[in-house]
Amino acid sequence: MITDTQDQAAIERRLWKALEDHQTGMLGIDGAPKQTQPMTAFLDEERNQIWFFTRSDTDLSRAIGEGRRASFIVQRKGLQAVISGELTLQYDPARIERYWNAVVAAWYPLGRADPGLTMLCLTCEAAQVWLSDAGPVRFAWEIAKAHATHAPPELGGRANLSFH
């Protein structure tokens, strides 16, 4: 477990950078595994929010109602995370304009004026982050060492982040 405050800030920056670079993950409503699906994330780091384009008539949108607890799962080389918070359905024309791009447009053939177009906002409260920079050689070494010493392999660390 990583506890140093400076390390916490560095881990948070690394998490946001990973999301900024790759933008994808699995979004799900807590307690509703059938409502988990791949989504593209758009970050608002200053507000600790992650935004997603969706349609107002999807199962996920209908299940959210006035808001639900949700988790966004991210996996990248050397970083895995579960970000949790409150997920709400929000039609926000300014954000639609801000995040609109050619990839998003492919999903909405009627464009920004599509009557079903809306957004989801995950207000991030906490995250569990697992980090490892071990390549295949170090991984093999740590596994062999663990068998020899009967101690767990040392392949990285875990941190609990709070976004309040």
In the predicted structure, residue 33 carries a pLDDT above the cut 60? yes
* Residue 78 pLDDT: 84
* Residue 150 pLDDT: 82
Using CB atoms within 10 A of its CB, is residue 61 exposed (0-12), middle (13-18) or buried (19+)?
A: middle
Could you give the CA distance from residue 95 to residue 128 in angstroms, rounded to a whole number?
Answer: 27
H or E, element range at 137 = helix 136-149
* Residue 127 pLDDT: 96
pLDDT in tens, 71-108: 999 998 889 999 999 999 999 999 999 999 999 999 99
* Residue 3 pLDDT: 47
Q: How many CA atoms lie within 13 A of 61 on its CB side?
A: 15
* Residue 139 pLDDT: 60
Which residues is 69 bridged to in the sheet?
A: 86
Distances (CA, A) of 66 to 61, 77, 84, 89: 10, 35, 17, 7
List the domains of the chain with CATH numbers: 5-162 (2.30.110.10)
